[in-house]
Amino acid sequence: MKRIVFATNNAHKLSEVKAVLGDGYELVTLREVGITEDIPETGATLDENASIKARYVFERTGLDCFADDTGLEVEALGGAPGVHSARYATDGHDFAANNAKLLRELEGKENRRARFRTVISLIRNGVEEQVEGIVEGRIATTMTGSEGFGYDPLFVPEGYDRTFAEMSAEEKNAISHRGRAVKKLVALLHDIEDEHRKIEEMERTACMYGPPFPFDK
């Protein structure tokens, strides 16, 4: 089983990603590689933050790793809270305060369209690539449900009449932004592995038979 570092100590994120990633990889947390400090998230976009976190881990461990950043983008608020989703109301990850502020900001607004977007930055063998997952939906007028975390009690995905917090983990992972991004991550990892296998096979063939056109000197 291949080991890969996931740049998070968030138990909710970890369980969601594990469920989608499957048994082919062993997820290693930041604590397990000795990183206990908060990784700075100074980027102006989700893409930048995901890259900053992945590079932080790679530079300190040299291990294959990936990091994600997720934001809720509300149309009537010009894309806010966006990159500031986790710290929308306070400096910490106060889910209740964030949800309460979002409801206040949307008071009296008819347009409640929103989308969740997750960006994952993967560094493998020193090479960085990014994938993203998006789910469209709307913001409910009241919080409902007890599953999940973050804005899940307010977000109703398109085509559904329930919030993420009213869904089981399996239901949510099948359609969620993070689930979609992780599926793309898995496909990317498999593509990289296939490419490495091709290169290794070419190298083995070259070793067995030598250069295809040897020159006599």
Copy the structure tokens of residue 193: 């592995």
Domain boundaries, the chain: 2-209
State residue 91's pLDDT score. Answer: 80
In sequence order, the β-bridge partners of residue 120 are: 68, 131
What CA–CA distances, in Å, run from 45 to 18, 71, 93, 126? 25, 9, 18, 22
Residue with tokens 């990784």: 39
To which residue do tokens 């990014």 refer?
130
**Residue of 64, 68, 69, 152 with catalytic role:** 69
pLDDT of residue 127: 94
- Its pTM stands at 0.82
Tell me which fold the domain 2-209 belongs to: Maf protein (3.90.950)
- pLDDT tens digits for 159-214? 999 999 999 988 998 999 988 998 999 888 887 655 545 545 555 565 665 555 45
Residue type, 174: A
Q: What is the mean pLDDT of each run of 10 residues along the chain (217 residues)?
A: 86 80 84 91 94 96 95 97 93 88 96 97 95 97 93 97 95 91 89 56 58 49
- The whole-number pLDDT of residue 215 equals 46
What pLDDT is stored for residue 208 in this prediction? 60
Is 69 known to be catalytic? yes
Where do runs of H (alpha helix) occur along the chain?
11-21, 46-61, 95-105, 169-175, 177-209
